Amino acid sequence: MIHTCVLYVSHYGTTRDIARALARILGPARASPVEGFAPAACACEFVVIGTPIFGEVPDPRATRFVEENRDWLAQRKVALFTSSLAPDDKGRYRTSLSRLIGPSLVSGTSLGGRLDVASLDTADRATMEAFACATGSSVNNADTLDWSAVAAWGLKLRDIRDSLGCHLDDGQLRSEIERFLCSHDTCALATAGDAGIRATPIEYIYTQGCLYFLSEGGVKFANLLSNPHVSVCVFDPYHTMADVGGLQLTGTARLVDPRDVAADRVLDARHLTRGKLGQLPFDLNVIEVHLERAELLLSALSKRGVDSRQIYDFTCST
């Protein structure tokens, strides 16, 4: 599994807060200020660097860190972000650092910033007031930080990072996922909608890229009326990190017509007949989840020389 290091320079806390949020999204990861960071002692393969922009230039400490560690960064994949009140859609503020990082740079973005006038030190306040005087503006508190943009970039980086690992081929990975699914029969089915977020422990049947559930009803059906997108989690009991096993799945759900052949497959697997169903005092409903993405975490895979975390896209399979 690839480890990530999120390095940052932060004077008033905004860049630090962004870096910590990114580290949580990218975990396993560690957020650390560049001051005191020892590259030689870090085993990470993916590096994110964050710096505030003041006076339209990156913090000198970030520039100095990149200059002094260019060889170390050249052996890794690097992402770069800047935080500033002013928008920087074209990335002008990070140009100098991007050039220093060179071909190792795989992604860059500019995120918003925050200004709390009361927290400014004497020098920064004087600079801001001089700028405001020259432009006929005033120094006021401001907040242009968009946490949804931080989350979206963090997820993008996660996909980039995960693509760098050592993977099973699609056929082998599909076999591992199906073996795991077929060796279990219970999961947590998560739905979200007007009824809120719901996680339901429920038995399942797996066949040909789909999960099937039998249910007498419940809150999950209220959610499925407005949102068919679901998440499913199947996992082994935890003992040690040496035998971790878990599978996270996403997909799209639909209610199966009782006359559909898919309903017959589920009934057969549960040793039920339509006659038996008719004797029940309530209806049983069949949910089909067409799987789209699987994230398999299996410690045993590392013994085969591949990452313990593998991602499979059902939509690209033939």
Whole-number pLDDT of residue 2 = 82
Residue with tokens 């990452």: 307
Whole-number pLDDT of residue 295 = 96
Q: What is the pLDDT of residues 213-261, one digit of tens each?
A: 999 899 999 999 999 999 999 999 988 888 899 999 999 999 998 777 7
Tokens encoding 316: 């690209």
| CATH architecture, domain 170-316 | Roll (2.30)
Q: How many CB atoms sit inside 10 A of residue 263's CB?
A: 20
Whole-number pLDDT of residue 257 = 82
CATH class assigned to 4-163: alpha beta
Tokens encoding 216: 């007498």
Distance, CA of 181 to CA of 186 (rounded, Å): 9
**E strands in 144-228:** 186-193, 196-203, 205-207, 210-215
Cβ contact 272:212 at 8 Å: no
Residue 317: pLDDT band by 50, 70, 90 thresholds? low
Quick one: average pLDDT of 149-176? 94
| Residue 318 pLDDT greater than 60, yes or no | no
Q: Provide the Cα torsion 113, 42, 26, 14; round to 10°.
A: -10
Residues recorded for the chain: 318
Q: What's the mean per-residue pLDDT of the chain?
A: 91
Whole-number pLDDT of residue 260 = 79
- β-pair partners for 16: none
Whole-number pLDDT of residue 87 = 86
Whole-number pLDDT of residue 43 = 83
Percent of the chain scoring above 90 in pLDDT: 67
Beta strand pairing status for 4-8 and 29-33? parallel
Rounded to two decimals, the pTM is: 0.84
Cβ contact 285:215 at 8 Å: yes
Any idea what DSSP says for residue 310? E
Q: What is the pLDDT of residues 82-122, one digit of tens each?
A: 999 888 888 999 999 999 999 999 999 999 999 888 888 88
CATH 2.30.110.10 domain locations along the chain: 170-316
CATH 3.40.50.360 domain locations along the chain: 4-163
Q: How many CB atoms sit inside 10 A of residue 4's CB?
A: 24
Whole-number pLDDT of residue 266 = 79
